């Protein structure tokens, strides 16, 4: 066992530690399948494995809960396998080298596999927790979620007996997902011919770049500009006014990404060169004005080229450019069931000259309503078919229509409120999830996707007791590399009724790095000073249910500060007794360094402030910023 096995809740972390020792790349899940089967046998639990390797482990209800409906806890076995270029690591054979830093579980130079290893660990822990009271349980572990949703697509008949399914694959704390989009790809192939470039033509290359891009599901509602559509607009205008002839077009790459860059090589008659350049300047100025609020870094450039040898034949050029301009792109419809959710969309993903006189245009369509997905696919196909292209579609995957009245949602949200004293955010996502696929074979299934509420603490420093924490999970994240950590010790001086403790702290936050904490989890706080690159927030560090409230009770938190900061950090503690209402416990805080050295004297909460540099050992190691 590694050091992470000693974290609390111990049962969850012991399972996660064991999972990290088993290689489990996508499409190579044989060892983790054997691990799950051995787990079931060791604990004398019923299990079943289907033809593609999915495993379900069943546990009967505890006494008195036999009449409760069966609940399915679902996660996937495989992990994303990425490593730093300077790290020697074989994902097919080597165990993940997990360690603890600044209260977070991390991996040495590789991905940790918390997606969805921590979901697997939570399910396994519930199956063997002697104190858990529950109805019939099923833990479903699917294969190859990351690269093809293979396990969900090919889930065997008779694998599931329960009606209620909780997907444990969410990375969003405090959010419950009740719907997702289905998707299908449309590939249009133009057969064209090239001909000798006309004489007395001047040739140019136009580049569109530095767009924000993003995921074609999650980011499609943000108004991101599509580089393929932008280049096509310029070409269309040139065809109308300046006898433009196209030689080459390339834009986008991934089918599920909004394209950020595209370019085209084309020519106009030399006699119209000056006129075209003027028109281009006006067009570029119009685009900058049109995009200025959506694409602050947008760039379009025009550079003259040497004479090219070939251009696209006129018929193929007309068909390609007119279809690229005319094909729908972006949000098609918003959901009537979930306010603010995109229901249906389409993304013009890539345009490629594929050799052998072929031009391949790839687009992707999404919708949480199956009939609407079919319709938007038909819209896209119709445009390209009218242009003479051969159009084919991928197999696609189904959506999951949101049901805000779901009983499972009501029960899950109520449990969340009771455990954490706050309202969960109920959402649907405009992207594909395994949940949508299960409905095809199990149409009566109710589903909810939940992230694990988590507080991950290192072992206590010498001389202090390990505080009790709720049975939760863990997170791992990237860091800006400029953080400093402080361990705060909260000590109750005068007891209150045992109940629900909420610890808050605030610090100057930098949001300049790539992995931004979700703003939805932060509350605005006004503090004087600071430049425009900083935002202030009250950040909830942990919520401990049933924490000891007697005099002298202690529990800890980890406070993040920018390195070198000296601004006071204010904090407060609220106690929500089980009987209801609000009571303030008299408390004190000592602010010390990472190595346990105590800081200045105790400071009363609610009104006090402590400086993180106060006599403590400054921590400089990287970690999650907040």
The pLDDT assigned to 431 comes to 84
Q: What is the mean pLDDT of residues 407-432?
A: 90
Residues forming beta bridges with residue 523, ordered by sequence position: 538
**Could you tell me the end-to-end alpha-carbon distance of the chain, in angstroms, rounded to an integer?**
28
Q: At what angle do helices 30-42 and 10-20 cross, to 10 degrees?
A: 140
Between 611 and 128, the higher pLDDT residue: 128
Q: Are 549 and 497 in contact (CB under 8 A)?
A: yes
Residue from 187, 97, 197, 76 nearest 139 by CA: 76
Q: Residue 563 has which token pair?
A: 């390195």
Q: How many CB atoms lie within 10 A of CB 395?
A: 7
Residue 148 burial class via C-beta count within 10 angstroms: exposed 0-12, middle 13-18, buried 19 and up: middle
pLDDT at residue 298 is higher than 60? yes
Contact (CB, 8 A) for 318 and 253: no
- How does the average pLDDT of the chain come out, rounded? 75
Residue 282 has pLDDT above 80, yes or no: yes
Average pLDDT of 212-237? 93
- Residue 52 tokens, joined: 């593609």
For residues 243 and 85, the model is more confident at 243
- Among 177-181, 331-335, 462-466, the range with the most confident prediction by mean pLDDT is 331-335
d(CA 152, CA 55): 12
pTM of the full predicted structure?
Answer: 0.59
Q: What mean pLDDT is predicted for residues 541-546?
A: 32
Worst-scoring range by mean pLDDT, 29-38, 289-298, 578-587? Answer: 578-587
Residue 538 pLDDT: 30
Contact status, residue 268 vs residue 242, Cβ threshold 8 Å: yes
Any bridge partners for residue 257, and if so which?
215
Q: Could you give phi then psi for residue 192, rounded to 5 degrees?
A: -130, 175
The span from the CA of 571 to the CA of 402, in Å, is: 39
pLDDT of residue 1: 77
Identify the CA nearest to 559 among candidates 468, 625, 615: 625
Residue 508 predicted with pLDDT over 80: no
Q: What confidence score (pLDDT) does residue 451 get?
A: 54
Cα separation of 626 and 480, whole Å? 11
> E-strand spans in 270-404?
299-305, 310-312, 330-334, 342-355, 358-367, 390-393
Q: What is the mean pLDDT of residues 504-525?
A: 29
The residue count of the chain comes to: 626
From 145, 169, 295, 489, the catalytic residue: 145
pLDDT tens digits, 369-398:
889 999 999 999 999 999 999 999 998 888
Q: Which of 78, 138, 175, 219 is catalytic?
A: 78
Q: What percentage of residues in the chain have a pLDDT greater than 70?
A: 71
- Exposed/middle/buried for residue 103 (C-beta within 10 Å: 0-12, 13-18, 19+): buried
- Known catalytic membership, residue 157: no
pLDDT band at 327 (very low <50, low <70, confident <90, very high): very high
Angstrom distances, CA of residue 36 to CA of 19, 26, 32, 144, 172: 10, 16, 6, 15, 26
Instruction: Determine whether 390 is an active site residue.
Output: no
In this model, does residue 160 exceed pLDDT 90? yes
Supply the pLDDT for residue 381. Answer: 97
Q: Bin 69: left if φ > 0, else alpha if -120 < ψ < 50, else beta.
A: beta
Chain-centre distance of CA 316, in angstroms? 40
Residue 572's pLDDT band, with cuts at 50, 70 and 90, is very low
Instruction: List CB contacts of 339: < 8 A, sequence separation 6 or more.
Output: none
Q: Which residues contact 290 (CB under 8 A, 6 or more apart)?
A: none
């Amino acid at each position: 066992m590694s050091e992470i096995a000693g974290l609390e809740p111990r049962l969850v972390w012991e399972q996660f530690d064991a999972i990290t020792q088993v290689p489990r790349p996508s499409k190579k899940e044989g060892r983790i399948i054997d691990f799950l089967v051995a787990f079931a046998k060791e604990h004398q639990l019923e299990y079943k494995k289907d033809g593609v390797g999915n495993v379900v482990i069943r546990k009967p209800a505890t006494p008195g809960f036999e009449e409760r409906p069966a609940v399915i806890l679902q996660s996937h076995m495989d992990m994303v396998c990425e490593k730093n270029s300077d790290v020697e690591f074989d994902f097919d054979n080597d165990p993940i080298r997990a360690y603890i830093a600044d209260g977070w579980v991390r991996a040495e130079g590789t991905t940790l596999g918390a997606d969805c290893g921590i979901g697997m660990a939570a399910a396994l822990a519930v199956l063997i927790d002697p104190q858990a009271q529950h109805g019939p349980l099923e833990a479903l572990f699917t294969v190859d979620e990351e690269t093809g949703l293979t396990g969900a697509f090919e889930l065997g008949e008779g694998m599931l007996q329960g009606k209620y399914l909780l997907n444990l694959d969410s990375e969003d704390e405090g959010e419950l997902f009740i719907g997702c989009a289905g998707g299908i790809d449309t590939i249009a192939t133009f057969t064209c011919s090239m001909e000798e470039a006309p004489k007395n033509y001047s040739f140019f290359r136009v580049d569109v770049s530095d767009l924000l891009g993003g995921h074609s599901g999650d980011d499609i509602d943000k108004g991101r500009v599509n580089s393929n559509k932008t280049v096509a607009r310029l070409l269309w205008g040139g065809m109308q006014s300046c006898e433009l002839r196209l030689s080459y077009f390339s834009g986008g790459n991934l089918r599920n990404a909004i394209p950020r860059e595209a370019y085209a090589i084309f020519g106009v008659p030399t006699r119209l060169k000056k006129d075209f350049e003027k028109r281009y300047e006006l067009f570029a100025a119009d685009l900058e004005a049109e995009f200025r609020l959506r694409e602050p870094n947008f760039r379009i450039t025009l550079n003259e080229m040497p004479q090219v040898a070939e251009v696209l034949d006129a018929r193929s050029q007309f068909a390609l450019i007119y279809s690229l301009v005319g094909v729908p792109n972006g949000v098609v419809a918003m959901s009537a069931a979930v306010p603010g959710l995109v229901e249906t969309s389409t993304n013009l993903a890539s345009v490629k000259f594929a050799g052998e006189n072929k031009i391949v245009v790839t687009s992707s369509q999404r919708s949480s309503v199956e009939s609407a997905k079919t319709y938007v696919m038909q819209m896209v196909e119709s445009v390209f078919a009218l242009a003479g292209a051969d159009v084919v579609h991928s197999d696609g995957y189904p959506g999951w229509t949101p049901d805000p009245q779901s009983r499972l949602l009501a029960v899950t949200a109520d449990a969340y409120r009771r455990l954490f004293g706050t309202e969960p955010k109920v959402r649907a996502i405009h992207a594909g999830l395994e949940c949508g696929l299960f409905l095809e074979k199990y149409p009566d299934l109710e589903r909810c996707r939940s992230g694990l509420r988590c507080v991950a603490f290192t072992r206590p420093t010498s001389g202090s007791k390990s505080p009790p924490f709720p049975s939760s999970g863990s997170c791992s994240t990237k860091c800006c590399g400029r953080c400093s950590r402080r361990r705060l010790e909260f000590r109750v001086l005068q007891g209150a009724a045992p109940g629900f403790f909420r610890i808050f702290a605030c610090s100057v936050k930098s949001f300049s790095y790539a992995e931004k904490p979700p703003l939805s989890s932060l509350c605005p706080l006004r503090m004087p000073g600071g430049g425009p690159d900083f935002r202030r927030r009250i950040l909830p560090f942990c919520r401990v249910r049933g924490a000891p409230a007697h005099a002298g009770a202690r529990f800890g938190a980890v406070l993040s500060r920018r390195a070198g900061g000296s601004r006071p950090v204010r904090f407060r503690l609220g106690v929500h007794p089980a009987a209801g209402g609000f009571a303030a416990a008299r408390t004190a805080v000592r602010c010390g360094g990472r190595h346990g050295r105590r800081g200045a004297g105790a400071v009363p909460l609610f009104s006090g402030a402590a400086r993180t540099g106060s006599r403590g050992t400054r921590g400089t190691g990287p970690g999650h910023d907040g």
